[in-house]
Structures are given as structure tokens and as C-alpha cells.
Homo-oligomer: A and B are copies of this chain.
Amino acid sequence: MNYRYVIQVLGKLLVMFSAVMGGLALVAWVIDAMESWRVDVGAEEALLVSCVACLVVGGLMWRITRRCKRFMGRREALLLVASSWVLGAVFAALPFFVWARVFSGDAEHPFCSFDNCYFEAMSGLTTTGATVLADIESVPHELLLWRAFTHWIGGLGIIVLFVAVLPSLGLGGKKLFNVEAPGPAPQGLQPQIRQTARILWLIYGGLTVLEILALWTVARMHIFDAVCHSFSTVATGGFSTKNASIGYYYNKPAVDIIIIMFMVLAGANFGLYYQLWRGRAAAVWKDTELHLYLAMLALGSLVVAAAIANGGDPVVLTTGAEVAPDSAESIRQGIFTTVSIQSTTGFCTSDFNRWPFIAKAVLVAFMFVGGCSGSTAGGIKVIRIWIVLKVMIVQIEKFVRPNVTRPIRVSGDVVDSQLQLSAMIYVLGIIVVFAIGWGTIMVFEQWNPESACTLTTAATASVATLCTIGPGLDAVGAVENYGWFSGPSKIAMCVLMALGRLEFFAIVVLFTPTFWRRD
């Protein structure tokens, strides 16, 4: 195992973190100085301290390994993926922790305990969007921007970071790509990884810029909020700058519409945008997963909207206001929430925990499904569900007529048996890890006599972190937060987030003897 090279690449990642933190602090200082726009106590200082810490640690890691062999095999690649999320979150958590402990002057602030900061940073980097904060608006703008940036960089990481930012990987890059690209096959992405990665960067960045402009100019959102929400949307994260999440903008329906559009886009396969870029619109047109994804969104929205309208209870917005569940309102809330959940973003406009059972059941089912492969969305992914369903149908037909063999096709291509098996394993893996997470959280919360953790709370906390959604039901619902969980539960949920985001294997292999065996 070439540990030295792994350490070097991690060092580079930290230096990149350092640069962003430094840049943020600088920009914030300039804005403060120019406009007296807002006086935030110590946020810049906290960012600068963290910037220096990342620079020192990252620089040292880079320096001491500078003469290593630049070889990255499969195992090195797996180790790098796992450690950049697990260790990356430690450094991403620093600004929150330093600010709360040293500069905020509030000894009761959630960020005063490091496990809360780590949870928030892991939730950011894994594009989950679960927060420990009850009062988000009291946190300085610089830190909220850093928080949104962890989403953005995490989402980018999922799509290209490991193939573009760390180009020294060489052969390793391709192998990482197999881990990173969510979904069974990185369809349409050519082996010329560096070039592809550059295009993906541009697409990802372009989407972000487009959304910022749309929110800022069309919906007249403040530029700061537009940037943060755009970072969250394209990464399908879900951190908001407002306590009421997107519900804050209830009187600006344009915000809802723009965010719905970009959530749908972010949950679709970025490989398709790459194909469009290369002028191959036909590939997009015949993509089965895209059709299914859009069909599920449409159908899900319809069912949820019908359930809200049929239930008849007033819709309670995340701001606390109540509105009558007329058809327009039901459709608006149904579409927004369904898209937000299936794209695994987790923005909220209303408290869906109060909705009728059928609406909640559909939403929880969609949490498991998630978006498309090759997107920033989490969950099982639409294409895997489809493959598994097809395998089941073929198996049932085989039972009637054992001599008839039908190949399984997706978007016109045959799905080989290895891919079938791995899709099945992944689906089972999600279910098993979800169940273990559920039980673990319940057990940990049993030790805490003041905990309000119900079975539903623990179950939805498990799926909402594993599938990188954010909000769940009951005590982790749309208007609640994760701050009240005990430390061990939060650590368990960090593990769930990392497992779900890295599609298990990059984490699980670290616990196999084979992985660490010398050869």
C-alpha cells in the first residue's frame, strides 16, 4: 500500500480547503469594510485560523511525502476516497468550532461541541443537509457560506473532484471513478478522464451560476442567499440560510419554481449533460433512467398533492403560518416536497410531518429511491431499482418457462449478470444498513432518558442520513433539527452519511483483512 501518495493527495485537498477559507475570509473582510454590510463577531478570524491550520497540516503532509512514488492502485484509491471524506470533515468543521468556542461568546451554542461541528461538516460534504442548528440565522454569514460551500465541493467531489482536481492520480483516477460515479455504470463518460472531468466541472459550475442568476435577478433573492441556496441545490444538499428553509420565500413563488427546476436537474445524470455538450441529444432522449425519474417525480407529486388536498388539514408552512389546502397550494407543496425528497436535497417549504399517512409513506419510499446515477443525489438510485425489478420479473417468468431466457436491457443496452448482482447487493445493502442504523440510534437514545426518540424518528433519521436527504419525520421533521441527539447517535449518523455517499464499498473495504494484507 502506497500510504505516502495517499497522504500527499490528502494534503493537497487540505491546501485547497485552506485556500477557500482564506478567500472567504478575505471577501467577507472586504465587504464588511466597504459596506458595513453586517458586523459578524469573529467569523473571519475563525475562518483565518482554520485556513492556517489546514495550510500547516496540509502543507506538511504534502511536503513530507513529496518524493513518493506517484502510483495509485485500486486500494490506494479506495483509501483516499474514504479518508478524504472522513478526515476532510474534521477540517471542514474547524471554522464552526473555532468561531463558537473562541469568538461567539455563547457557551451554549451547538457548535461549541466538536461532534456537532463534525456532524454539520460531514452533512455538508456528503450533501446530506441535516443540521444541528435550531437558529441558523444567528450564525454569521461567512460561516453559512462556508457551510453551503461544503455541499458544493462535496457534490463536485462526487462527480469530478477525484478525477479533475487531483489529476496526479493517473491510472488511479479511472479506478476512483468506478467508486465515485454514483450508479452502476458511468454511462456516456469516456475514458479520457481529465477532459471529461473538465467538462463536468464546467457543467456543474454553469448550473450553479445559472441558478444564482435566476434566483437573484428573476426571483429577487438577496445575492448572498442566492449563492448559498444555489450551492445547496446543485449539490442536492439542503442547507439553507433561513430557519424556515425555502418556506421563508413563500410569498415569492418564483423561488420555489426555480429551485424545483434545479433540484430536478441536479438529481439527473450529469453524464447526460455531457452527452448534450457533445451534441448527442439522442442518448438523452432514449435514457430509460431519465424517463423513470421524471415519471416518478410526476406521479409522486400527484399522489402527495392529492393526499394533502384530500386530507383537508391546513398546510403548516415551515414559518409556522397556516394556509388552506386548496388545489393550487396542494400541488405547489406536493411538487416541491416530492422533488426535494427524491432528488435527496431536503429543502422544506412546509411541515410534511403533519401530512396524511399516504403522503408521508410516498415521501419515505422516495427517500430510499433517490435520484439518478451519475448525479449528486443519494439513495439507491432509480436505475438500480429498475434493474432489480427487471431481474425479479425475469426470474418469475423463468419459473413458469425455465427454457426461455430474456436479456435484461436498460436504455437499449444489455445489463450483464455482474451488474445485476451488484445492483441487487446495493439495494439489499441500503436496506440492511438502514435497519442497523435504525436499531443503533434507538439503542443509543435509550441510554439518554430525556430523549424524545420514537421509532419513526430513529427510522427516518437513519434513512435521511444514509440516503443524504436531511429532514425526516417526527423529531427530525421539516421544522426540527438533529442537535438534540446524543453524541454516539450523531457519530452513528456520520457513519451512515459516509456509507451512503460513498456507496458503501469505499468505507466497508477498509474493514476487510484483504484490504490491509501486504502484497
A residues neighboring B (CB under 8 Å): 74-75, 78, 356-358, 361, 365, 388, 391-393, 395-397, 399-402, 417, 420-422, 424-425, 427-429, 431, 435, 439, 442-443, 446, 455-456, 505, 508-509, 512, 514-515
Q: Which residues on B sit within 8 Å (CB–CB) of A393?
A: 512
Q: Which residues on B sit within 8 Å (CB–CB) of A512?
A: 393, 396-397, 400
Q: How far is the CB of A140 from chain B (nearest CB, A)?
A: 41
Q: Which residues on B sit within 8 Å (CB–CB) of A388?
A: 428
**Complex partner residue of A446 from B357, B391, B392, B446, CB under 8 angstroms:** B357
Q: How far is the CB of A427 from chain B (nearest CB, A)?
A: 6
The reply to whether B508 and A402 form a contact with Cβ atoms under 8 Å apart is no
Considering the complex of A and B, which 9 residue pairs feature the smallest CB-CB distances, nearest first? Answer: A424-B424, A399-B505, A400-B515, A397-B514, A400-B509, A400-B514, A361-B439, A395-B425, A396-B508
* New A-B contacts (9) at CB < 8 Å, excluding given A392-B425, A455-B455: A78-B399, A361-B443, A391-B425, A395-B422, A396-B505, A399-B505, A399-B509, A424-B424, A427-B428
Q: How far is the CB of A391 from chain B (nearest CB, A)?
A: 7
The reply to whether B361 and A78 form a contact with Cβ atoms under 8 Å apart is no
The reply to whether B429 and A431 form a contact with Cβ atoms under 8 Å apart is no
CA distance A443 to B360 in the complex (A): 12
CA distance A395 to B442 in the complex (A): 30
The reply to whether B443 and A357 form a contact with Cβ atoms under 8 Å apart is yes
Q: Would you give 10 A-B contacts (Cβ < 8 Å), ordered by A?
A: A74-B400, A357-B442, A357-B443, A395-B425, A396-B512, A397-B512, A417-B421, A420-B421, A424-B424, A455-B456
CA distance A361 to B445 in the complex (A): 14
CA distance A391 to B421 in the complex (A): 9
The reply to whether B74 and A402 form a contact with Cβ atoms under 8 Å apart is yes
Copies of this chain, complex-wide, total 2
Q: Which residues on B sit within 8 Å (CB–CB) of A456?
A: 455
Q: How far is the CB of A257 from chain B (nearest CB, A)?
A: 31
Q: Which residues on B sit within 8 Å (CB–CB) of A395?
A: 421-422, 425
Q: Which residues on B sit within 8 Å (CB–CB) of A425?
A: 391-392, 395, 424
Q: How far is the CB of A186 from chain B (nearest CB, A)?
A: 16
Answer whether A443 and B358 are a contact pair too, CB < 8 Å, given A78-B399, A392-B429, A425-B391.
yes
CA distance A476 to B439 in the complex (A): 21
Q: How far is the CB of A422 from chain B (nearest CB, A)?
A: 7
Q: Which residues on B sit within 8 Å (CB–CB) of A421?
A: 391, 395, 417, 420-421, 424
**Complex partner residue of A442 from B75, B361, B401, B435, CB under 8 angstroms:** B361
Tell me which of A357, A392, A399, A425 has the highest count of chain B C-beta atoms within 10 A of its own C-beta.
A399
CA distance A380 to B505 in the complex (A): 25
The reply to whether A509 and B428 form a contact with Cβ atoms under 8 Å apart is no
Q: Which residues on B sit within 8 Å (CB–CB) of A391?
A: 421, 425
Closest residue on chain B to residue A361 by CB atoms: B439
CA distance A2 to B399 in the complex (A): 18
Q: Which residues on B sit within 8 Å (CB–CB) of A439?
A: 361
Q: How far is the CB of A490 from chain B (nearest CB, A)?
A: 19
Q: How far is the CB of A215 from chain B (nearest CB, A)?
A: 37
Q: Which residues on B sit within 8 Å (CB–CB) of A402?
A: 74
Q: How far is the CB of A172 from chain B (nearest CB, A)?
A: 14
CA distance A480 to B441 in the complex (A): 28
Q: How far is the CB of A364 from chain B (nearest CB, A)?
A: 10
Q: Which residues on B sit within 8 Å (CB–CB) of A396?
A: 505, 508-509, 512
Q: Which residues on B sit within 8 Å (CB–CB) of A75?
A: 400
CA distance A425 to B431 in the complex (A): 13
Q: Which residues on B sit within 8 Å (CB–CB) of A427?
A: 428
